Structure 1
Amino acid sequence: MANKGIRAKLQHFGSYLSGMIMPNIGAFIAWGIITALFIPDGYWPNEDLAALVDPMKFYLLPLLIGFTGGRLVHDVRGGVVGAIATMGVIVGADIPMFLGAMIMGPLAGYCMKKIDDVLQDKIKSGFEMLYNNFSAGILGAILAGISVKLIGPVVAGLNNILASGVEAIINAGLLPLANIIIEPAKILFLNNAINHGILSPIGVEQVGDAGKSILFLLEANPGPGLGILLAFAIFGKGMSKSSAPGAAVIHFLGGIHEIYFPYVLIKPTLLLAAIGGGISGVFTLNVFNAGLVAPASPGSILAVMAMTPQGNYIGVILGVLVATVVSFLIASFILKTSKSSGEEDLSAATGKMEEMKGKKSSVADALTQDEEAVKKRSDEVHKIIFACDAGMGSSAMGASLLKKKFKEANIDVAVTNTSINQLPDDADIVITHQDLTDRAKAKLSSAEHVSVENFLNSPKYDELVDRLKDNVTEDGPKVTK
């Protein structure tokens, strides 16, 4: 039980880390493109445009993270105070303050929220704007001052320790062994937390020094997952075999790694294939001294290639290829020698995922609803939200599929996607992966919650279409946004 509680806390903590980074990945990519193109060793060196690199790294990116972290806790007010507090840690250190931003952003939002909880209802009519502006300004100034004098230097020291530790591991040739931890953690939906909460901030600093970082490829390498899916496409049976080719395309080109997790759990020993592929891929990258200039997110081969600096293409391609081949060989051996490899399907695998992650409720329990209550709600549905950990990967894929089905059925209901931490209060139906439904219910208990086993292909989509089609007349849809 204790282990289950720890896993749940890690997943919740990881969602906050990824929730601060993922919405700002576009800014990281923009910075990476500018770095790759215009620095002295870039494709088209340009002194004027290269002047953007350091200000974006030291100011823009940490401030965006700090604002997003504060906004996660207390909407825009929390975001503004989070950005002010982040400015303090930036001034208080001489290194990029990504870690400081991830600390001060949510902390500032939390402090603002607590102050508002105590004082906001006591403000007399007509003084609301005065209170809102000055409370945020005073708190921001206090936190910025504390950050400059105390938090900034402490975080800088901690950051230097972490960076030195990673550098020592790299110099000792032990970095490939990190995949012994990374690959199993990915299956527990901690992939975004590891990649964007730990590896990416340190990787950005390494880019400033060396122009690239191998850390961007430790988690994002699509090779291990691709090898496993290819093994299922050839040696699997039943549903796992028929669905694996499509999943491989989405994983490799779309970069949605979560799609291969249930396949691993069909046979837990397939973790050995993922680990073997990860270790061999990182070893190959190490041999060729290859890396990326910015995070590859999503972990698509297209994003990986786009973030590859000049002279690193061979090493990066071989790193992905070797990881794919090794994971394919190991997974093929496991599937061919296992008596149960062809009989278990993805539904059974999701049950294993539920057990591993310590969930008490079953899919059936999550989907059981009173028939009359459902019928009563059908003509009241205006907004459907797909929610996942970061709000950008598997949920976006599910939302796109349901939008297409609604369009074909002439159903006019808004469908969008977001992270669980940012679920809007006006959502009527929230659709999540079964392992995240409990968290979504805790965040928004007023909505109807639907659990799915696979965002790519769930019968629940057709059930929703049939349910809402009853409200469409010949003149058009009765259900409106």
Structure 2
Amino acid sequence: MDDAKNKTSLKARIQKLGTALSGMVMPNIAAIIAWGLITAIFMAEGWFPNKQIAELIGPMLNYLLPLLIGYVGGRMVYEERGAVVGAIATIGVVVGSQVPMFLGAMIMGPLGGWCIKKLDSIFQDKVRSGLEMIYNNFTSGIMGMLLAIVGVYVVNPVVNTGSMLMGEGVDWIISVHLLPLANIFIEPAKVLFLNNAIGNGILVPLGIQQAASAGKSVLFLLESNPGPGLGVLLAFTFFGKGNAKGSAPGAAFIQFIGGIHEVYFPYILMKPAMFLAVIAGGVTGTFTFQMFGAGLKAAASPGSIIAILAMTPKGSYLGVLAGVATGAVVSFIIAAIILKHDRSTADEFEAKQQEMAQMKAESKGKETPTNLAPADFSGIKKIIFACDAGMGSSAMGASLLRDKIKKAGITDVSVTNTAVSRLQDEPDLLVVTQVELAERAAQKTPSAVHVQVGNFLNSPRYDEIIARLKTETLINEETGAEPKATTGSELELSNIKEINFIRHDQNIGTSTMAVSLFKDSLHKAGKKVPVKAVRLDELVDSSDHLVIVTKEAKKNLDIRYTKVQVLVVSDLLTDEKLAQIIAGLA
């Protein structure tokens, strides 16, 4: 048991290191894009050369970007005091450097935050009242000065040498055309771990260093290429089964245009053979990029085709588009072959999806719950989605739950998103994280209620969260009340814009037949109100919607919805109340 615990903790520590690297770069992607756009547009070989504006390129690359990274790195460790000391420490490795000092900033920023945090833990409680400002300012200034000097004489030479060696290593790999083999590791690591740690923690700093001297870098395209993921999603669109086939077109749009690559990860996990498709697509795409000599001026984030084209220098559009296209085609062909030979039914296919989610959770030392673990949801006022970098997938997950909460009529709960490293423990908090980050989230917010999901963009946990929140609301209300509407005469039918039939059992035939009979009766009565058979989680919580349910289904309806008008019937097909409704409709 202890071995398993230690093993899990080791994985969490390794993951934390990769997340820390990407966490320093991700908040500064906008600044990197600004530098890339200025370079692509205004440099001597750019679209609109402008010597005066181009003078921004060097200072931004050599000073602004490293200092921003150092500032964020220090803030990750010790908030604002750590951020200031981290930035001061970073200037020590920046001055006199022969290469853009991104790696040095990733060292000095967190080091500065850690040093001032340790100093405060020793002396801050001993400071007399009234001397706090003197202590804070002078300790930060002195610590920053000392670390800057260390940066000049120790870290700068080491990082300079290391950066040049790594740059020469990358150049050699490119020269012997072995770079495509990197995708053998990149594509699975994106899905199984965290893609931000690879792209923003490793490839972006090396790519910027290469682009500073060569004008562009193919390293920006290795992880951000949307082609392999697009190919898999298109294969599911044409040859998939069940929910995977139905959701694939929307996922393809989000992935290719929106740049959120996480949407295709569950499709890979539900059928592990798909790793072959994305690996082959990634290798093919990178080989094509190299063959055309393609590259980007700066990082494309998110990995959208729009962002990629915006960062493409003049003369590289054909190569970039060719690499994306060939990656998608190869990935599509292999994924299509895999799906065509798949003998499972839609139900079996979905069962494998759950099985893969369980396997992934177990590989991280966790279990994927079939429903929410017992927890006190009373008093929850804030829900935070926490992911690796606090952008991308967590933002979309927060948006999805926010919409569900709005439709459920819950008005006193806010939903936001952030990076897991920036979580803060506070009362009345619910934290939603992916399984891989659950351990770290629990460490950061021990007082919060925690919910784990396999995929931010498509999780049954969201409906369970809504149900639990609604249950807590109902518990606080007066109990034992009769249903708000059980007869047709008690309903306000003048403003009804849609009628929904809800079934209690798993047989769709009854509700479908009920809708058909009700529509016929409406038509004969000359009424034109839309009638639909819907699932419980598809309802819109609005007073202009009339919901027709059986007594058994009414209980679940009360948990989730408060504004809809409800008619409880003994039978969806023959109850006499249905005729009263038709007569009362406008």
TM-score, normalised with respect to structure 1: 0.93
Post-superposition offset of 1:440: 0.8
Matched, 1:353 2:357: no
* SS of residue paired to 1:364: coil
C-alpha distance in 2, partners of 1:53/1:426? 42
Map of 1:42 onto structure 2? 46
* SS of residue paired to 1:449: strand
**Contact 1:366–1:450 at 8 Å: present in 2 too?**
no
Q: 1:128 aligns with which of 129, 132, 147?
A: 132
C-alpha distance in 2, partners of 1:435/1:255? 22
Unaligned ranges ≥5, structure 1: 474-481
Map of 1:297 onto structure 2? 301
Q: Is 454-463 or 223-232 further displaced after alignment?
A: 454-463
C-alpha distance in 1, partners of 2:274/2:357? 15
C-alpha distance in 2, partners of 1:7/1:361? 12
Map of 1:431 onto structure 2? 432
Q: 2:35 aligns with which of 31, 34, 51?
A: 31
Q: 1:87 aligns with which of 77, 87, 91?
A: 91
C-alpha distance in 2, partners of 1:203/1:341? 45
Between 1 and 2, higher relative CO (CA 8 Å, sep ≥ 6) is seen in: 1
Map of 1:457 onto structure 2? 458
Post-superposition offset of 1:92: 4.4
**Contact 1:387–1:430 at 8 Å: present in 2 too?**
yes
Matched, 1:443 2:450: no
- In terms of fraction of residues, the more helix-rich structure is 1
Map of 2:374 onto structure 1? 369
* SS of residue paired to 1:429: strand
Partner AA of 2:415 in structure 1? V
Map of 1:477 onto structure 2? none
Partner AA of 1:153 in structure 2? P
Partner AA of 1:426 in structure 2? E
C-alpha distance in 2, partners of 1:282/1:38? 28
Post-superposition offset of 1:6: 5.6
Post-superposition offset of 1:365: 7.8
Identity among equivalent positions (%) equals 56
**Contact 2:11–2:364 at 8 Å: present in 1 too?**
no
Partner AA of 2:436 in structure 1? D
Partner AA of 1:381 in structure 2? I
C-alpha distance in 1, partners of 2:228/2:8? 26
Matched, 1:285 2:293: no
Post-superposition offset of 1:456: 1.5
Map of 2:108 onto structure 1? 104
**Contact 1:266–1:341 at 8 Å: present in 2 too?**
no
C-alpha distance in 1, partners of 2:272/2:345? 11
Map of 1:384 onto structure 2? 383
Query: What are the equivalent positions in structure 2 for 1:168-207 lying under 5 Å apart?
Result: 168-207=172-211
**Contact 1:36–1:42 at 8 Å: present in 2 too?**
yes
Partner AA of 1:31 in structure 2? W
**Contact 1:70–1:80 at 8 Å: present in 2 too?**
yes
* SS of residue paired to 1:456: coil
Map of 1:476 onto structure 2? none
Partner AA of 1:414 in structure 2? S
* SS of residue paired to 1:93: coil
**Contact 2:361–2:368 at 8 Å: present in 1 too?**
no
Map of 1:234 onto structure 2? 238
C-alpha distance in 2, partners of 1:323/1:79? 41
Map of 2:482 onto structure 1? none
Matched, 1:54 2:58: yes
Post-superposition offset of 1:283: 0.6
Map of 2:18 onto structure 1? 14
Residue-by-residue CA offset, 1:62-118 (whole Å, 9 max, x unaligned)? 000000001000001001000001000001422110000001111111111111111
Q: Which has the larger radius of gyration?
A: 2
Map of 2:539 onto structure 1? none
**Contact 2:371–2:464 at 8 Å: present in 1 too?**
no
* SS of residue paired to 1:344: helix
